[in-house]
Structure 1
Amino acid sequence: MSTKQIDPSLIVNEDTHRQAILKRFHTPRPDWYEKLFALLLAKCLKAYEPEVAGYKAELFSRLRGRVNKVLELGIGTGPNLKYYAGDGDVHVYGVDPNKRMEKYATEAAVAAGLPRTNFNFIQMVGEALPVSDASMDAVIGTLVLCSVQDVNLALQEVKRVLKPGGLYIFIEHVAAQDRTALKFLQKLLDPLQQIVGDGCHLTRQTGKLISEAGFSDVDIKMASVSVCFLVKHHIYGIARK
């Protein structure tokens, strides 16, 4: 019996293509930066997560027992996994451009009760999700559209990979109201924030972009998060393909 060998050039070409996409949509960072950012994010979320726990419990209750394949866009350190990953035979595809997030996300998946074989971390960007059309029951994105380069393209990718009737669950910080002191401060600090926050923008009208992305149904609610004054204005909700 012969074993078919994989052409090494195919592997090289695929990796080269992936790296080209990463470079196009995510400014390359030194390894020390990615490692430090992942560490700081894990620490900062310890104060943030308790304040948004109620919103997340409300949103993720829609998934429990109803999904098999879930893609989490910008999975980061995996704080959402505990809300849905340990329920039934769920397979999670965690996408993030920062490869240093894999360690934290994998630990979070294990802590949530997700079998190791049911979790895949994929280093990639939201503008080119590495899964097939109409293959996901749900896509999750929390605090991620602030930092993708092309929000509209990322939202079209979310729609592409969702099955008909599939759910997109989101929580995002958004710009403050016009002609307020906070909006002025956000505009002033936005360039610096993009540097220290791995591409995070402070002034995006993300709710408007989601509403206009072409989902069949969108339910958006407003929230205020006191622990993060600069980005205290949040939206959260569910969109259906």
Structure 2
Amino acid sequence: MHASVTYHVSPITATLIRPERLGCCTCGRRHLLGASSALFSCPSPTPTDVIERFHAQRPDWYEEFYARSMDQDMRSYEAQISGYKEKLFSHLIGKSKNLLELGVGTGPNFKYYAGAADDLNIIGADPNKQMEKYARDAAIVAGIPPASFSFIRGVGEALPAADNSMDAIIGTLVLCSVKDVYLSLKEVKRVLKPGGLYLFILHVAAPDGTLLRSVQAALDPLQQLVADGCHLTRETGKQISEAGFSSLNLNMTFLSNVTLISPHVYGIAFK
């Protein structure tokens, strides 16, 4: 069962996120004597500082446990969602050379867009560094040359790419876990080239007033604890529609074998 709606809205210009706007000063001082005072200046934040502002550092054992669980325990989900992914990722074929996958995880999407271009350049961003070895293995299985794939530890709120540099950004099951959805979507728009594609598949909150929504609300704190910050009650489709993309095709469906996260939205947004 699914419904479809198309939005046409005015684009909002996204600006490069700068460390001072993120409040990433690591020493916590204010520049009371002016920016020119070296004595009271703060050190520039490192990439790790920026990442950990939005995604707190986890112990290595937890990151490895979560990465292995995602690699092994999501197979039934991937089997059910595969038809949606095949249709969605077909829009990349012959059009996209530079791709960034936000929340690349263990690389389950690679097989759907491995042939998008002959000289494909893929950046996989994920805050969990333990995902890299699984993602690299998945890339090899999908036929993606090692030189075409770069894994970078990163978060949605500060994407590791230059302005207007990507033909497409891919995000599946990721906006449920970012700290700031709107800032992440602003970053997507910053990094995409004009006319670039944002492809997404996301689980979302069940409709208000339903039993499932009540169950999601009750279990949401536990879900965040055991699933690396994943939220069950986010209305991410609404947030994407409000993000200022020039055009948006947004669809909703319900999956049968994942009751708690059954409601999904999927589609394509154009910068």
TM-score by length of 2: 0.82
Letter in 1 for 2:88: L
Separation (CA, whole Å) in 2 of partners of 1:95 and 1:37: 16
Separation (CA, whole Å) in 2 of partners of 1:215 and 1:202: 24
SS at 1:93's partner residue? strand
Of 43-52 and 145-154, the range deviating more from structure 2: 43-52
Q: Which runs of 5+ in 1 are unaligned?
A: 1-12
Residue correspondence of structure 1 range 36-185 to structure 2 within 5 A: 36-87=65-116, 88-185=118-215
* CA deviations over 1:53-91 (Å, ceiling 9, x no partner): 110011100001211100000000001111112342111
Pairs aligned (count): 228
Asked whether the equivalents of residues 175 and 202 of structure 1 are also in contact (C-alpha less than 8 Å), the reply is yes
Separation (CA, whole Å) in 2 of partners of 1:89 and 1:51: 30
Separation (CA, whole Å) in 1 of partners of 2:263 and 2:71: 21
Residue correspondence of structure 1 range 206-221 to structure 2 within 5 A: 206-221=236-251
* CA deviations over 1:195-226 (Å, ceiling 9, x no partner): 10100000000000000000000001111111
Letter in 2 for 1:51: Q
Deviation at 1:126, TM superposition (A): 0.5
Asked whether the equivalents of residues 170 and 236 of structure 1 are also in contact (C-alpha less than 8 Å), the reply is yes
Letter in 2 for 1:119: F
Separation (CA, whole Å) in 2 of partners of 1:73 and 1:98: 12
Asked whether the equivalents of residues 55 and 127 of structure 2 are also in contact (C-alpha less than 8 Å), the reply is yes
Deviation at 1:23, TM superposition (A): 1.2
Letter in 2 for 1:134: N
SS at 2:164's partner residue? coil
Letter in 1 for 2:252: M
Q: Using CA pairs under 8 Å that are at least 6 residues apart, name the structure with larger relative contact order, 1 or 2.
A: 2
Asked whether the equivalents of residues 93 and 115 of structure 2 are also in contact (C-alpha less than 8 Å), the reply is no
Deviation at 1:112, TM superposition (A): 1.0
Matched, 1:232 2:262: yes
Separation (CA, whole Å) in 2 of partners of 1:145 and 1:158: 12
Q: Give the match for residue 38 of structure 2.
A: none
Q: Give the match for residue 7 of structure 1.
A: none
What value does the CA root-mean-square deviation take over the aligned residues?
Answer: 1.1
SS at 2:91's partner residue? coil
Q: Which structure's CA Rg is the greater one?
A: 2
* CA deviations over 1:8-63 (Å, ceiling 9, x no partner): xxxxx88x611111110002211100000000111122111111111001110000
Q: Which runs of 5+ in 2 are unaligned?
A: 1-42
TM-score by length of 1: 0.93
Asked whether the equivalents of residues 86 and 112 of structure 1 are also in contact (C-alpha less than 8 Å), the reply is no
Letter in 2 for 1:215: F
Query: Runs of 4 or more off by more than 3 Å in structure 1?
Result: none
